[in-house]
A = this chain, B = another copy of it.
Amino acid sequence: ERSGVPEAILASEKTAADVAALAATAIETTGRAIVTRADRDQVAAVRDRLDAVAPAATLAHHPAARTLVAHAPTFDPPRLDATVAIATGGTADRGPATEASLIAREMGARIRLIEDVGVASLARTVDAADRLRDADVVIVAAGREGALPTVIAGLIDSPVIGLPIAAGYGRGGEGEAALDGLLQSCTALSVVNVDAGFTAGVQAGLIARSIDAARGA
């Protein structure tokens, strides 16, 4: 199986008890547990369970990202010589953007997060591009019409992964306008599904791993 992709428990399809049990197994066997798309009850169940089976573990819950990361004291996190940057258009993009950054960080990448640089304030977008330019790979999150990844990809040379966000209302407001816009982007980029912060984070992490390996070579 694929190495380097951290096991993560997608909570949204499971009972709180199932999630807690899977998290316990994960920390016992790999020294780490990552839970994504978790609601309040699932987080509480995981906390209780890990308190019991792994009381020495550190546990970080990121409510906006609905993500929980636990490390056993013995866990030795990977560390890559490569940077993943994440840019967002506005506060509505924060949840999946944070989820992406957490996953890429767990894969060992250095993280740079640049928020609120949507194209409605184009000067700030252009400024942001300058700070994104030297990252090894860039995730750009955007809801509504999803113009931000297209604009940034036109300004920098690194590969850009577009992360469409379900923010909006009316036709296309569930992230579909943003997704379709990214698929049609007139600047070349690749795309993940709506709100798929996990997928964007893994893909960016895999690219970072390749670059780290190349740097080490």
Interface residues of A (CB under 8 A from B): 1-5, 12-14, 18, 37, 82, 89-92, 118-123, 126, 136-137, 143-147, 150-151, 153-159, 161, 166-173, 175-196, 198-200, 202-203, 206-207, 209-212, 214-215, 217
Contacts and interface: CB of A to CB of B under 8 A. Distances in A.
Contact of A188 (B82, B155, B198, B209): B198
A91 to B, nearest CB: 6
B180 A202 contact: no
A210 B209 CA distance: 12
Nearest to A217: B215
Contacts of A212: 214
A121 B1 contact: yes
A90 to B, nearest CB: 8
Nearest to A4: B157
Number of copies: 8
Contacts of A154: 1-2, 119-122
Q: Which 9 interchain pairs have the tightest Cβ spacing?
A: A170-B193, A214-B214, A13-B92, A170-B194, A188-B202, A172-B180, A190-B190, A147-B147, A177-B180
Nearest to A10: B92
A158 B189 CA distance: 18
A188 B180 contact: no
Nearest to A165: B13
Given A12-B169, A136-B210, A171-B176, A151 B153 contact: no
Contact of A186 (B1, B89, B207): B89
A177 B184 CA distance: 7
A13 B168 CA distance: 8
A144 to B, nearest CB: 4
20 contacts: A1-B120, A2-B155, A2-B156, A2-B187, A5-B188, A89-B186, A120-B154, A121-B154, A157-B209, A158-B206, A169-B195, A170-B184, A172-B180, A173-B193, A178-B184, A190-B190, A190-B192, A207-B210, A210-B211, A215-B215
